Amino acid sequence: MDGVYLRVLAVRDLASGMMLLTMPMTRATSEMVRGALEMLFRMHGSPLVIKSDNGSPFKSKATKALLETYRVWLLLSPPGTPPYNGGIEAGIGGMTTRAHLESFRQGRPGEWTCDDLEGARLMANLTARPQGLYGPTPEEAWSPRHACRPGRAGRHRPHRHLTRIDRSRLSYFPEEGNFPANSLFL
């Protein structure tokens, strides 16, 4: 991509299908992964779990220390089992198709740029239907979850004790005093 980047770090919210990041990299290093994850944690808050393949940047001591700081569990897929990463693999497949179409539309078939990749990410979030034809787009599914409350974005707010299990996503509401019947206490 752009004649420089050989890899792409893709981060997807599995519940909504929202592609949060597609970051071109010259090589996959723990420093790049840590920087990208910390940026996402500061923008959107830290998740309860990160699911990953067994790539060394995710298994590094420094990445594990970052996740521990933000109280995020790391769930590694068993070695040699790509089907365990189906959600992100599907997202990457859609990104690949959209980036190829964008490069073709720009008159450079197969010659992707960083702009093509970002355009593909944005288009996927606005048009994909990961939950089926009548399901929400990733943008529609993600937006209610992240309706900004004052002081939420950009602050380190570790997970609290209440986690509410919803049919379509895992989210937590620490400020709410009511405990729905489908609550799980950690």
pLDDT in the model for residue 84? 80
Going residue by residue through the chain, which has 186 residues, state the pLDDT in tens, using 9 for 90 and above. 888 998 999 999 988 999 999 999 999 999 999 999 999 999 999 999 999 988 899 999 999 999 999 999 999 988 888 778 888 888 888 889 999 999 999 999 989 999 999 999 999 999 999 888 999 999 999 987 654 443 444 444 444 333 333 333 333 333 434 334 333 333
76 occurs within a structural domain: yes
159 occurs within a structural domain: no
CATH classification at residue 12 = 3.30.420.10
Containing structural domain, residue 130: 7-153
**Cβ(40)–Cβ(65) under 8 Å?**
no
- Cα 79 to its chain centre, rounded Å, is 21
Q: How many domains does the chain have?
A: 1
Query: β-strand 162-165 against 170-171: which pairing, if any?
Result: antiparallel
Q: Cβ contacts of residue 3 below 8 Å, gap of 6+?
A: none
The pTM of the full predicted model, rounded to 2 decimals, is: 0.73
Identify any residues that bridge with 76 across adjacent strands, giving them in sequence order. 52
132 occurs within a structural domain: yes
12 occurs within a structural domain: yes
